C-alpha cells in the first residue's frame, strides 16, 4: 500500500514537472509577476474563488507530508504545485513558498535518490534569473538521468538567456529526439523565431498548443501563438488565439493583455483600456502598466498615464525577486527619456551577466538615448546577429542608423519593423512612422 501511495505521488510530480518545463525560457521568464502589495490584495480576493487545479495539488501534497513527513516526495510535490500556482496567478510569492518546500525536501534527502528535487532546484533558479547556477544544476540532473527530456529543457532555457544559442539548439534537438511534447515543441518554436523562421515558429507553437495537457498551459501556448501571428502582421488570426486562451482559461492575465493589444491594433482604444485594466487587476506586470500608461498618454490623459508609470517602478521595487524586471525598466526609462543614467547602469549590468539578443538590444537602445551612437550600433549589431524578425529590434536599429547618418540602412530597418508589426508599441510605432516619413520626404 505504501509503495502504491508513493507511485501516485511520483505520477503527480511527473505531471507537474512536465507542465513547469514549458514556461522557463521561451522568452517568458520576464513575464512573471511580483508579489507586490497589489498582488497580495488580489490573492486575498482570490481565496473566495473555486479551487484551481494547482490548489488541489497543493492540498494533495500537504496531505502526503502529513502522512510521511520524512519522505522528500511530498515536499517535492508541494514545491512543484506552488510553482504551478505562481504560473496560474502570476504571484512570485508562491515561488518563495516553493523554495521553502524544496529546502525541506533536501533536509530529508540530499542524496542522488532525491533527483526530482534537483530538477526543481534548476527550475526555481531559472525563475530568479540565476541562469549560470540553473545551468550547473540542470547539467547535474542531466548527468544523473540523461534519458529525461525535461533536463534538456532547463539546459536550453539557461543557455538561451545567457546567449549561447549554438548549444541551446543542440540541447533542444536532444529534447525533441527524446520526447516530442508541448515542452519541446514550444522551445523549438522560440528558437525558430530567434532565427527568423516565423512560419516554422508558428507551426511548432501550434503543435505545442495541440499537445497541451491542462487549461493554463493551453492558454499560455495560445497567447504565444497569437504573439507570433501578430508579429507576422496576422492580427485577426492573433486575436482569435487570444480569444481561445481566454475561453480555456478565463481571466488569464497574459491573454487579457494580449487581447488589449489586439483591440488597440483594431482601433478600439476603449476596449484596449478595459482589457489592460483587467489584466493589471489580476497581475500587475511592468509591460502591461507601461502599455496602459502609453495609451493614456496617447489619448492625452496625462494624470492617468503618470499613475501607470509610477506603478512600473513600484513593481520593480517591491518584487519578490528584485531585479526580475530590470531590462524592462531600462527600456521604459529609455523610451520615455527618464533616468537615463540609471537605465544605462541597469543595461550594462544585465549585459555583463548575459549576452542574449534582447539584452544586447536594450543596451543599444539606452546607449542611443545617451548619445553614444557608435556603442549603440555595436550592441544593436549583436541583437541582430541571429536574423530575428522582431519589430522592436529593427526599429531600434533603424533609429540608431539614422543617428549615424546611414539613411538607406535606417529606411530599410524602419520599413521592416512596421511591416512585421505596425502596432509593435503604443507610442514607438508612431515614432517609427514619423521618422520614416522624415527620411523619405
Please check the confidence at residue 76 and state whether its pLDDT lies above 50.
yes
For 1-163, CATH number? 1.25.40.10
Alpha-carbon distance of 35 to 310, in angstroms, equals: 17
Which CATH fold topology does 326-440 show?
A: 1.25.40
Reduce the DSSP state of residue 60 to 3 states and report it: helix
CA–CA gap between residue 9 and residue 131 (Å, rounded): 29
Task: Answer yes or no: is pLDDT of 25 > 90.
Answer: no
Please, how many CA atoms are within 13 Å of residue 412, restricted to the half-sphere of its CB?
Answer: 5
Q: 351 pLDDT exceeds 50? A: yes
* pLDDT digits 0-9 by tens, 256-271: 999 999 999 999 999 9
pTM, two decimal places: 0.86
**pLDDT tens track for 180-202:** 999 999 999 999 999 999 999 99
CA–CA distance, 84 with 426 (Å, rounded to integer): 32
* 65 grid coordinates: 507530508
Tally the C-alpha atoms within 13 A of residue 247's C-alpha that lie toward its C-beta.
7
pLDDT digits (tens, 9 = 90+) for 139-158: 999 999 999 999 999 999 99
Range in 22-26, 232-236, 350-354 with the lowest mean pLDDT: 22-26
Is pLDDT of 51 > 70? no
| Mean pLDDT calculated for residue range 325-338 | 94
Residue span(s) of the chain under CATH 1.25.40.10 come to: 1-163, 326-440
Cα angle 257, 348, 329; round to 5? 25
> What would the DSSP string read from start to end of 165-195?
HHHHHHHHHHHHHH--SHHHHHHHHHHHHHT
Average pLDDT over residues 331-358: 96
Please provide residue 437's backbone torsions phi and psi, each rounded to the nearest 5 degrees.
-65, -40
**Residue with the larger pLDDT of the pair 268 and 50:** 268
Report whether 430 contacts 414 (CB < 8 A): no
Whether the Cβ atoms of residue 282 and residue 42 lie closer than 8 Å to each other: yes
Task: Report helix, strand or coil for 28.
Answer: coil
How far apart are alpha carbons 97 and 92 in whole angstroms? Answer: 9
Q: What would the mean pLDDT of 269-290 be, rounded to a whole number?
A: 96
Q: What is the SS3 string spanning 341-366?
A: HHHHHHHHHHHHHCCCHHHHHHHHHH
Q: What is the pLDDT of residue 156?
A: 97
Amino acid at each position: 500500500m505504501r509503495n502504491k501511495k508513493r507511485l501516485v505521488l511520483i505520477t503527480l510530480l511527473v505531471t507537474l514537472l512536465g507542465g513547469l518545463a514549458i514556461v522557463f525560457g521561451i522568452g517568458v521568464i520576464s513575464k512573471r509577476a511580483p508579489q507586490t502589495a497589489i498582488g497580495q490584495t488580489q490573492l486575498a480576493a482570490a481565496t473566495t474563488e473555486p479551487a484551481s487545479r494547482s490548489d488541489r495539488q497543493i492540498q494533495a501534497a500537504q496531505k502526503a507530508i502529513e502522512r510521511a513527513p520524512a519522505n522528500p516526495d511530498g515536499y517535492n510535490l508541494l514545491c512543484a504545485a506552488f510553482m504551478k500556482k505562481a504560473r496560474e496567478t502570476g504571484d512570485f510569492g508562491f515561488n518563495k513558498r516553493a523554495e521553502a518546500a524544496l529546502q525541506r525536501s533536501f533536509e530529508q534527502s540530499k542524496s542522488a535518490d532525491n533527483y526530482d528535487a534537483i530538477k526543481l532546484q534548476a527550475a526555481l533558479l531559472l525563475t530568479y534569473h540565476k541562469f549560470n547556477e540553473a545551468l550547473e544544476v540542470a547539467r547535474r540532473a542531466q548527468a544523473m538521468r540523461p534519458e529525461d527530456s525535461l533536463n534538456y529543457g532547463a539546459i536550453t532555457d539557461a543557455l538561451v538567456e545567457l546567449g549561447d544559442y549554438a548549444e541551446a539548439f543542440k540541447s533542444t534537438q536532444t529534447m525533441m529526439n527524446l520526447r516530442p511534447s508541448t515542452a519541446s515543441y514550444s522551445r523549438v518554436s522560440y528558437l525558430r523565431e530567434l532565427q527568423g523562421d516565423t512560419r516554422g515558429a508558428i507551426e511548432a507553437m501550434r503543435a505545442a498548443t495541440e499537445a497541451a495537457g491542462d487549461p493554463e498551459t493551453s492558454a499560455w501556448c495560445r497567447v504565444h501563438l497569437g504573439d507570433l501571428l501578430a508579429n507576422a502582421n496576422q492580427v485577426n488570426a492573433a486575436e482569435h488565439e487570444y480569444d481561445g486562451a481566454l475561453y480555456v482559461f478565463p481571466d488569464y492575465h497574459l491573454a487579457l493583455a494580449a487581447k488589449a493589444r489586439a483591440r488597440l491594433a483594431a482601433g478600439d482604444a476603449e476596449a484596449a483600456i478595459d482589457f489592460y485594466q483587467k489584466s493589471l487587476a489580476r497581475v500587475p506586470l511592468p509591460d502591461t502598466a507601461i502599455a496602459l500608461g502609453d495609451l493614456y498618454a496617447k489619448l492625452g490623459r496625462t494624470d492617468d498615464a503618470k499613475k501607470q508609470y509610477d506603478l512600473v517602478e513600484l513593481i520593480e521595487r517591491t518584487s519578490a525577486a528584485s531585479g526580475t524586471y530590470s531590462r524592462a525598466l531600462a527600456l521604459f526609462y529609455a523610451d520615455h527619456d527618464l533616468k537615463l543614467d540609471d537605465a544605462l547602469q541597469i543595461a550594462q549590468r544585465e549585459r555583463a551577466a548575459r549576452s542574449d539578443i534582447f539584452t544586447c538590444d536594450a543596451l543599444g537602445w539606452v546607449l542611443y538615448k545617451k548619445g553614444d551612437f557608435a556603442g549603440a550600433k555595436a550592441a544593436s549589431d549583436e541583437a541582430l546577429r541571429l536574423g530575428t524578425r522582431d519589430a522592436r529590434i529593427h526599429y531600434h536599429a533603424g533609429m540608431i542608423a539614422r543617428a549615424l547618418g546611414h539613411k538607406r540602412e535606417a529606411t530599410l530597418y524602419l520599413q521592416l519593423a512596421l511591416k512585421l508589426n505596425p502596432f509593435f508599441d503604443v507610442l514607438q510605432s508612431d515614432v517609427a512612422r514619423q521618422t520614416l516619413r522624415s527620411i523619405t520626404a
